[in-house]
Structure 1
Amino acid sequence: MGISTSLGTTHEVDLPGGRIEYHDTGTGAPVLFVHGLLVNADLWRGVVPGIAAAGYRCLTPTLPLGAHRIPVPDADLTPTGVADLIADFLERLDLTDVTVVANDTGGAITQVLLTRKPERIGRVVLASVDSYEGFLPQPFTLLPLLARIPGSMRPLTEAMRIRALHRLPLAFGWVAKRPVPPEIADSYLLPSRNSAAIRKDLRRFLTSAHRHYTLEAARHFGDVRVPVLLVWAREDRIFPIEFAERLARDLPDATLTLIDDSYTFLPEDQPELLTERILEFTRLHATP
């Protein structure tokens, strides 16, 4: 199991919440990629090369959301704690005027970050993300309930040995329109299958994943001072376009664009089109 070489050099960094792994490639203005639940930096393997080639420095951390390889037993793994972990990452690497690109659960965490510690953020791309009452959305609302049952994570992760089950709604079936390549699915699923410590981290995040975090963030959207691009999958099965339209109304400087032939995992289903939208947005809102 390994992270895609297209993401660049692998590094580790010690943060107040624990050590995380990240990948770094390209030079220029920084772009930070934020993945969601039970995936890792590999989600961005089809997007990062095009962004880096266009003259940007691309940083893809693997956050402790269940597909990470370094346990963080002392970290605060509430959505607020993970948002603060990202803020600490930006501070440790002294990154400013950052473009943050987020997908799925990573978008909920980014909304918390944006309304809590926005100082180093220059612009944000939310690509089919949890928001408002949709954190976590159906059918994934079952996961926090399961996480409250001791020992429940292991049977779930063991079941994912059966690749045919990957197309179920509770796995990748409703988030990726096309089958996730086996080696990438292994990158996402093996850490929690192989490590009790990783499963414990996953449980801690899941038991705290509640819509009050996204609803609280939404209360502060009027204070957001950076441009936001909402890139949504027109066929999204878990985040209706109505949520994107609501975000576009509530965020002061937001633009909505739709992408066809994709589910929630836009970086998996349509990496080239997502790359184009990100580059158009960063060029339009480049710092003089």
Structure 2
Amino acid sequence: MPEIELTAGTISYGDTGGEGPVVVLLHGLVHDATVWRKVVPGLRDDHRVLTPTLPYGAHRTPMAVPPTPDVVIDLVVEFLDRLDLREVTLVESDCGRAQTVAARHPERLARLVLMSCEAFDNYPPGLPGKMIGVAARTPGGIGLMIRVLGLRPLRRLPLGLGSLTKHPVPDEIVDGWLRPLRTDPAIRADLRHYATHIRRTELLEAAEGLGRFDKPALVVWAEDDLMMPREHGARLARLLPQGRLEEIGDSRTLIAEDQPERLVALLREFIGAA
């Protein structure tokens, strides 16, 4: 994967190249760009698809600036600027940073897609989100959490991937997500810093700004989500002046894992029509 050195540090990213519409896919906490591995093949033939790995704990290179939600927002904006990405369809799953990017920096975006993500006062979301927060505030807690999640028989528990997906994620993919946290104390420090520097009002502030994002917007919500309240999808769609809601069955938060074909079809239709 190519790398780019940004103000906050160096990140890796996938880039399919090509001349089609630009799609930037953002993943959630303790995942990396491989969460999109089932989606990229369905878009790459006629879209340029970029998949940065953000400093959420599965990144390989420790950050020069300790990450916070605000640092990640600036990093995403700088990533778009440095690669001169224009008329971007910004897609985000699980985390809520794209809401603030759209509210504060709409200039490079043509479209916005929010997928079963943190919103409003659901922050941090669900049992896994709260567990990360507790672990980050407990000496040695991040290391203990990762050791527990590293035990394959426990991954489907509600505190693990059982809250995020209906269908099991291959162990080799999960092992890749967890490896940096298991092997590098600096990566653990990055996740600890991020989780202990959350501003509780951040997404409520972002929601106020979404009303000014008057561009095509698609909200995709999992009907069986255990972490993100179903009513938040409808509420986000109403806030966005050109918002539209699509719900997907037989899926939890990580729609790209549970229903990739349905998601690709929605994205292709949305980008083609907007």
| TM-score under structure 2 length normalisation | 0.96
Aligned to 1:66: 57
SS in 2 for 1:101: strand
**Deviation, structure 1 residue 76:** 4.8
Q: Contact 1:144/1:208 (CA < 8 Å) preserved in 2? A: no
Q: Contact 1:33/1:44 (CA < 8 Å) preserved in 2? A: yes
Larger deviation, residues 145-154 vs 39-48: 145-154
Matched residues in 1 for 2:270 and 2:106: separation?
A: 19
**Deviation, structure 1 residue 263:** 0.6
Q: Does 1:175 align with 2:164?
A: yes
Matched residues in 2 for 1:13 and 1:283: separation?
A: 29
Which residue of the other structure, out of 76, 90, 99, is the alignment partner of 1:86? 76
Aligned to 2:251: 262
Aligned to 1:103: 93
Q: Contact 2:126/2:228 (CA < 8 Å) preserved in 1? A: no
Matched residues in 2 for 1:209 and 1:144: separation?
A: 9
List structure 1 runs of 4+ shifted beyond 4 angstroms. Answer: none
Q: Contact 1:37/1:65 (CA < 8 Å) preserved in 2? A: yes
Matched residues in 1 for 2:106 and 2:69: separation?
A: 15
Q: What letter corresponds to residue 152 of structure 2 in structure 1?
A: R
**Deviation, structure 1 residue 151:** 2.0
RMSD in angstroms over aligned alpha carbons? 1.1
Aligned to 1:124: 112
SS in 1 for 2:23: strand
Matched residues in 2 for 1:19 and 1:224: separation?
A: 29
Matched residues in 1 for 2:181 and 2:133: separation?
A: 16
Matched residues in 1 for 2:243 and 2:223: separation?
A: 18
Matched residues in 2 for 1:209 and 1:39: separation?
A: 18
Percent identity of the aligned residues?
43
Which residue of the other structure, out of 16, 30, 33, is the alignment partner of 2:25? 33
What whole-Å deviation, never above 9, does each CA across 1:62-83 have from its counterpart, x for those lacking one? Answer: 00000111110x3252212101
Larger deviation, residues 27-36 vs 204-213: 204-213
Which residue of the other structure, out of 37, 57, 61, is the alignment partner of 1:45? 37
What whole-Å deviation, never above 9, does each CA across 1:250-271 have from its counterpart, x for those lacking one? Answer: 1111000111111110000011
Number of matched residues? 272
| TM-score under structure 1 length normalisation | 0.92
Q: What letter corresponds to residue 164 of structure 1 in structure 2?
A: P
Structure 1: segments with no counterpart, 5+ residues: 1-9
What whole-Å deviation, never above 9, does each CA across 1:111-152 have from its counterpart, x for those lacking one? Answer: 111112221111011111110011211212232232122321
SS in 1 for 2:107: coil
Q: Contact 1:176/1:264 (CA < 8 Å) preserved in 2? A: yes
Aligned to 1:7: none
Aligned to 2:226: 237
Structure 2: segments with no counterpart, 5+ residues: none
**Deviation, structure 1 residue 206:** 0.8
